[in-house]
Amino acid sequence: MKSAPEILKEKCTPAGFERLMILANPKMHEFVAHYLELCNPDSVYVADDSEKNTAYIRSLALKADEERELAIEGHTIHFDGPGDQARDKARTKYLLPPGVDLGSRINSIEKAAGLKEVEDLLRDSMRGKEALILFFCLGPTFSGFSIPCVQITDSSYVAHSETILYRKGYDYFQSIGDAVDFFRFIHSAGRLEDNVSADVDGRRIYIDLEEDIVFSTNTQYAGNTIGLKKPALRLAIRRALRQGWLSEHMLLMGVHGPGERVTYFSGAFPSACGKTSTAMCAGETIVGDDIAYLRERGGRCFAANVEAGIFGIIRDVSRKDDPVIWDVLTTPGEVIFSNVLITDDGVPYWLGDGRETPERGTNFSGRWQKGKTDEEGKPIPCAHKNARYTVSLSRLSNRDPLGDDPNGVELGGILYGGRDSDTWVPVERAFDWNHGVITKGAAIESETTAATLGEEGVRKFNIMSNLDFLPVSLSDYVKKYLAFGERLSKPPVIFSVNYFLRGGDGEYLNGHEDKRVWLKWMELSINNDLEMIQSPTGYIPRYPDLKRLFREVLDKDYSEEDYIEQFKIRVPECLAKIERMLKIYNDEEVPPPEIFYRVFEEQKRRLEEARAEHGDYISPFSLFVGVGPT
Ligand code: SPV
Ligand code: MN
């Protein structure tokens, strides 16, 4: 049998072989050698951290036609196949060794069978292609957050995206010597037809938690293929739970208070609920928009952005609502557009961009013209609703100066939000960490929209917006969150936000920009700069504070009627939500901790007592005004 270095020497160019051998890590060598043998590429390219290597990957994406140049310099378009436009939850599975059971809610497959299946699919999958071996770091390099990673892929689009979205990790990998706790990703787009994965039935995303390996094949869509994104989130959640930190599906941002004060927030929202637009709020600074690691240090909570770029939903990005990102998307510089409409002269268009849609062009369905329908006769939109842009955070004028700080940022607050038409008020502070974790984070629900498949307005439970990525039971996840809070002498203050509250006529009660006011209010609240009203479900803003902030932030009048309509406590809906949560958690195979029930029972009692006194819908003016916690 050949040794790993012998195989690598045979497969790689002398320069590539040398680059691999400089990293004195036998476990990495074995991994790369095994999958090069199995996938059998025609050639192999090993990248280090040099700009020359990044430029090569970029040029390869164009040469291989996985991306095409657009009219503006540095802009390219990538298309995923029509059936490969989103994360494939059904075919994403954990490989479980005998005796391990993650419960029936989590998709899994017996390890030996799953490994055989995915390795059979990967066998010879890179024939005729070049394999790219890349090294990245999750979190800032050389920091307490860093997780080194190695990625093998035959997709130059995947590799190119990763060079934009993650911190380079070759030098960092060298510094870890023969350490074994790195993440490993193997991806092949599989057989291509017109440059898109042709065998989508063979699409698999399999996760080996014991080995920290993610296998991905017959897909190109970034959420399935970019090892460092959602695949790594799943591995990191498990590692974090074992080591006592948190790996979260969260934005990270600085909110600017009076004077020079900056208070950092993280925020969890299910996909397409305003996460990126919150992180990009005018007047504030962005650290990251998708994944954050949270760690305790000296009794404080510090957070770091895992990524270095944004893979953002482009739908509804317009010049008016999103000036910062609009500027990046319309000026020279590196941008990968995916699944938008491209005109024949290389100009991208997308849904809700505020422009007149062109008559024709090319989109994820091939050539497209207005009125084009699919096999079922349904109209094909000009761009896919999950079309995206990939850009480096360094391109943004509102990037926070501490974005790459190896210490992370000290977290003052955590937001939890979802699409909720009738229950939560627009912004509310939890009484304390446990109350916030249990009644807010662990109780996130989001309503389906016309843009998602299936019925409209159906509430989907999504704990901490991390449900899709949890390799543990809901109860174990909640327990670890509570234990994490216990180690903090000054835990971040938890808030719920709701941008999607509707009135009796079905109209949204808040404008797109109102979240800017909620952020300022939360920042002041954390710093004990205002009084709050104690409601049965948390602390809510006083009218005079919001009236002042609406004027200061948005130069808008904020009426007392609007305030009452938005901030009235909706007792029946709040009670119904508690019942839904108890049912979900009671159905879990692992029961939640006792405190979980106690916190919900207390909330229920407060709501019932308030109802007895004030009725079903309680104006904030009838509630007690207090200073709130200090
Ligand atoms: C999300 O859907 O939460 C995303 C995009 O951030 S994906 O990469 O598909 O996960
Ligand atoms: Mn996400």
Gap between the Cα atoms of 37 and 221, Å rounded:
25
Tokens of 320: 């008016």
Average pLDDT of span 144-162: 98
223 Cβ below 6 A of ligand 1: yes
Same fold, 4-66+84-243 and 247-308+404-626: no
CATH topology of domain 247-308+404-626: Phosphoenolpyruvate Carboxykinase; domain 3 (3.90.228)
Q: How many angstroms does the Cα of residue 223 sit away from the middle of ligand 1?
A: 5
Question: What's the pLDDT score for residue 450?
Answer: 62
229 Cβ below 6 A of ligand 1: yes
Gap between the Cα atoms of 282 and 630, Å rounded:
29
- Torsions phi, psi for 596 (to 5 deg): -60, -45
Q: How many angstroms does the Cα of residue 230 sit away from the middle of ligand 2?
A: 7
Q: Which amino acid is located at 273 in the chain? A: C
CATH topology of domain 311-395: Phosphoenolpyruvate Carboxykinase; domain 2 (2.170.8)
Residue nearest to atom 4 of ligand 1 (CA): 271
With contact defined as beta carbons under 8 Å apart, do 550 and 574 qualify?
Answer: no
Residue 328 has pLDDT above 50, yes or no: yes
DSSP 3-state assignment of 419? Answer: coil
87 Cβ below 6 A of ligand 1: yes
Residue 627 has pLDDT above 90, yes or no: no
Q: How many angstroms does the Cα of residue 170 sit away from the middle of ligand 1?
A: 26
288 Cβ below 6 A of ligand 1: no
Residue 628 has pLDDT above 90, yes or no: no
253 strand-pairing partners = 265, 286
DSSP 3-state assignment of 584? Answer: helix
The 10 Å Cβ neighbour count of residue 220 is 28
388 Cβ below 6 A of ligand 1: no
Query: Of the candidates 114, 108, 104, which has an alpha carbon nearest to the alpha carbon of residue 94?
Result: 108
Residue 293 has pLDDT above 50, yes or no: yes
Tokens of 355: 């422009």
Q: How many angstroms does the Cα of residue 233 sit away from the middle of ligand 2?
A: 10
For 99, residues 6+ apart whose C-beta sits below 8 A from its C-beta are none
With contact defined as beta carbons under 8 Å apart, do 136 and 228 qualify?
Answer: yes
Question: What's the pLDDT score for residue 625?
Answer: 77
Residue 171 has pLDDT above 50, yes or no: yes
Number of residues that make up the chain: 630
Query: Of the candidates 341, 276, 282, which has an alpha carbon nearest to the alpha carbon of residue 309?
Result: 276
Gap between the Cα atoms of 248 and 252, Å rounded:
10
With contact defined as beta carbons under 8 Å apart, do 317 and 355 qualify?
Answer: no
- Reported as a single tens digit per residue, the pLDDT across 81-120 is 999 999 999 999 999 999 988 888 899 999 999 999 999 9
Residue nearest to atom 2 of ligand 1 (CA): 271
DSSP 3-state assignment of 185? Answer: strand
CATH topology of domain 4-66+84-243: Phosphoenolpyruvate Carboxykinase; domain 1 (3.40.449)
Residue nearest to atom 6 of ligand 1 (CA): 290
**Residue 430 DSSP one-character state:** -
Which pTM value belongs to this model? 0.96
Q: Which amino acid is located at 84 in the chain? A: D
Write down the domain spans for the chain: 4-66+84-243, 247-308+404-626, 311-395
Q: Among the options 12, 39, 137, 273, which is catalytic?
A: 273
Is 382 an active-site residue? no
Write out the E strands in 285-434. 285-288, 292-297, 300-305, 309-313, 335-338, 341-342, 348-349, 360-363, 366-369, 388-392, 409-417, 427-429
254 Cβ below 6 A of ligand 1: no
